[in-house]
Structure 1
């Protein structure tokens, strides 16, 4: 592989200016971004390092599913006592500003952004072939946009950094308005669409961002902002190279990573040294889990809630693929307990699983189109290209009957049906929290969940908690309440 399965080279570079005086040469052991980037191979390594940040336990490797799934009504924490003050805070909406998951999610996104900026600062002036220049620039823009999309949805206004900076410049950051951040995201993705190829001919390049990846993410960004018409244009531009796979179960098999439904995924591979695997298996399976003749020990965090299990309709083929409610804790003993099955890949070693994490799938694109069409105007039309057609294409693959106009006779009922479908189709793929946060009844849904699932009579939840706090260390470093304030309610 040419992409993530390398050391994060840029993480070891010094991001500072160097002298051009030939007498004061920079040692090769102390490379900077200004001296490193010269050849196409150098830029490829730089872009690979950006992708590498997606695997980190600060992002999709761990922290993100705590902030995006455990936070929602989809999953919870098994060991609430030992993890009180850390993961349980995220689950119960009692987090403090020093919570490490919150700090990790913030820092991990800026690692990716910094590495993207390092490439973007140098690539226009480089003399590498034009085709390589366009691709690498497009990839860097796409990955920077993805990270800012995660940041702005998790924390609200955040510093907008689009160039490499000195320490003193970084200390003068302000929290840019949400609208400014979204404008930068849109600009990055619109540029990426024009720069990235529609596909790659080299099998080793599978998994890199494509023009379809950028169009799809742009559509999702626009739906999040309720820009329905422009969202539809972007979603329709995803292209003809993507489609639903026939069987939902095939999406999550490590051996089937090359398939037409994945627009973009975080890639992992087990069995390498140093490891390029994930820790999903150990983090998600039960404490005593007998599987394939071996007894494993997991933490059973990011555990499916009873509420989610009940959300699946009878006959939904996605249920048995996504989760289970019983398991073996020995060769002969079966016990009750929920756990995620989507990423059930036996690790080659501790924390070395090979399952990939889907960031954007074609099913998501179909449901976003259904939502955007309905929000523009409810229509009773059915068939290809209609809101009902997009919704029912996803349901048909799940083995479920099509929704009819009689069942969904108006805009509100159709809207609710789309959100219900998104929950079961995209379970454990880091979408549910954001769907709740952008919906009109998200707070009410979560309050009901906290009361039903945990018997909390007065849950600590209001609209302020739809954003996480800015990590306290950032507040302390900047010490500027006017330009770098803490989020309301913390």
Structure 2
């Protein structure tokens, strides 16, 4: 373990050097040196693997998917919690919860996100450049594997930058899609252009990656198909989204959990997960859910989301030994009991929800929803409960809210569907818990974060 820790520290240090050129200036015309000897770093296959592993570690940073783009800022903006006291929480969190994205704390935070995402992209582009220079050193299928992984990660990061910093409308300005390391300015295309570039990278990765690699700690062919389903759905191409979602489902390589509530992340269903340093991980969720913030979902909020039933495995949000007895939402079981030091990035249930949304008829769509419901210890819904497309759409939204609680995905769902702010949870003007559950949203709020100047 100590050897692994030292190796990861070396990788992280190496990536700091790689990333010096990749701050906000990196997408302008300021030329900066890499500051490393590429010929040495990329002299072996292992060097390429370590740089890729380092990018995964970058993604696990607390600013990114280690905390804020999952259970922190994005879950607050996704209205996953109702106990958010302006007197107790950090200004960053309170302003995220009320969609005040022009607040200085939010703008400082999103500037950090922008820089760190592009730093990771810069490392991927440098790896891809050196990959072509040194093709002869690779054995077996490693060239295809490393290239496919790097292209898929590049698309993943650009797509989330797009979802954070651009409108949903295809003709509006997107974000710079950076594919080179020449440090010249990369201008932003439209949202539609950016989506096409994401699809191009993911399609290339799909052709390169082997179907028999079932690792979940790295981007694989199956994670790529899941991401293609996600991107195509965002684009509005339901045919292609459905095709890729069903490719994952019908492969039978991943199965829904059955008859268990011991693992509230349902890890066997994960298609792609991200490693987070275990010590940091504890500090990350403690900072959100522990004192003095005590951010969480109240008992009344749980009932509003999950209903009065106690059978839904996903309802075990409050830690029974700390929160349930007093009614104070402390550390959610979902994170403390089952998460360990990994976080899900692409899950099988999302493929079922995409298939349900893209289905040709309500009956077919409902069949995919019911498969998830049954695996979560609920009875299936019928045409009596869900008689039309509008009802099906509501059930899909409810499933996103329940399944991805604290994972950051609900915010992106609301944005993609352009759901009115007065339809979000915990909107009532009379707070259930005075001073805590009232989260007002301004009429001019937006789902789009402010790009760095």
Normalised to the residue count of structure 2, the TM-score between the two structures is 0.82
Deviation at 1:247, TM superposition (A): 4.3
- List alignment gaps of at least 5 residues for structure 1: 17-28, 288-297, 347-352, 381-385, 476-490
Secondary structure at the counterpart of residue 359 of structure 1:
strand
The change in CA–CA distance for 1:328 and 1:84 in structure 2 (over 3 A counts) is closer
CA-CA distance at 1:405 after TM superposition: 0.9
Match of 1:378 among 361, 365, 382: 361
Give the equivalent residue in structure 2 for 1:230: 240
Residue of structure 2 in register with 1:487 after alignment: none
In the TM superposition, 1:445-464 aligns within 5 A as 445-446=423-424, 449=427, 451=429, 453=431, 459-462=441-444
- Deviations along 1:339-396, whole A, 9 cap, x unmatched? 42211059xxxxxx833211111111111101111xxx4343xxxxx32221100010
* Secondary structure of the corresponding residue to residue 329 of structure 2: strand
C-alpha contact 2:81 2:297 (8 A) present in aligned 1: yes
Distance 1:457 1:68, change over 3 A: closer
Equivalent positions of 1:20-39 (< 5 A) are: 31-33=36-38, 35-39=40-44
Asked if 2 retains the 8 angstrom alpha-carbon contact of 1:124 and 1:133, the reply is: no
Structure showing the higher helix proportion among its residues = 2
Structure-1-length-normalised TM-score: 0.76
Could you say which residue in structure 2 is the equivalent of 1:211?
Answer: 221
**Residue 461 of structure 1: CA displacement?**
3.8
Work out whether 1:88 is the aligned partner of 2:81.
Answer: no
- Which structure ranks higher in relative contact order (CA pairs < 8 Å, sequence separation ≥ 6)? 2
**Corresponding residue number in structure 2 for 1:294:** none
8 Å Cα contact 2:426-2:439 kept in structure 1: no
Q: Name whichever structure is richer in strand by fraction.
A: 1
Query: C-alpha separation between the residues in 1 aligned to 2:41 and 2:440?
Result: 56
Deviates more, 1:354-363 or 1:92-101: 92-101
| Distance change (3 Å), C-alpha of 1:276 and 1:116 | farther
- Which one has a bigger Cα radius of gyration? 1
Stretch deviating more after TM superposition (425-434 or 124-133): 124-133
**Which residue number corresponds to residue 183 of structure 1?**
196
> What is the aligned length?
415
1:318 paired with 2:313, answer yes
Give the 3 Å change call, closer, same or farther, for CA 56–415 of structure 1 in structure 2. same
Structure 1 counterpart of 2:27:
none
Deviation at 1:437, TM superposition (A): 1.2
Correspondence 1:315-354 to 2 at 5 A: 315-321=310-316, 323-324=317-318, 328=322, 334-339=325-330, 340-345=332-337, 354=340
Check the 8 A contact 1:326/1:337 in 2, yes or no.
no
The answer for the alignment partner of 1:286 in structure 2 is 290
Alignment partner of 1:102 is 2:110: yes
- Residue 242 of structure 1 is matched in structure 2 by 254
Give the conservation status (yes or no) of the 8 Å contact 1:70–1:90.
Answer: yes
Decide whether the 8 Å contact of 2:421 with 2:441 is kept in 1: no
Aligned match of 1:137: 147
Structure 1 residue 115: Cα displacement = 1.6
- Separation of aligned partners in 2, 1:116 and 1:92: 35
Q: Give yes or no for contact 2:97–2:439 (8 Å, CA) kept in 1.
A: no
Q: Deviations over 1:60-107 (max 9, x none)?
A: 112213332100221256452354542211111223263233223222
2:413 alignment counterpart: 435
**Residue 54 of structure 2 aligns to a residue in which SS?**
helix
In the TM superposition, 1:258-273 aligns within 5 A as 259=268, 261-270=269-278
Alignment CA distance shift 1:49-1:408 (3 Å): same
- What is the CA–CA distance in structure 2 between the aligned matches of 1:392 and 1:207, rounded to whole Å? 28
Spell out, residue by residue over 1:290-334, the C-alpha distance to the aligned partner (whole angstroms, 9 max, x if none): xxxxxxxx7434x2255454110313423443x1186538xxx94
User: CA separation in 2, counterparts of 1:407 and 1:360?
Assistant: 29
Counterpart secondary structure, 1:246: coil
Structure 2 CA distance for aligned equivalents of residues 142 and 81 of structure 1: 42
Aligned-residue CA RMSD (Å) = 3.1
Q: List gaps (5 residues or longer) in structure 2.
A: 22-33, 167-173
Query: How big is the shift at 1:265?
Result: 1.1
Q: Matches of 1:459 and 1:206 in 2, distance apart?
A: 38
Q: Is the 8 A contact 1:63 1:101 kept in 2?
A: no
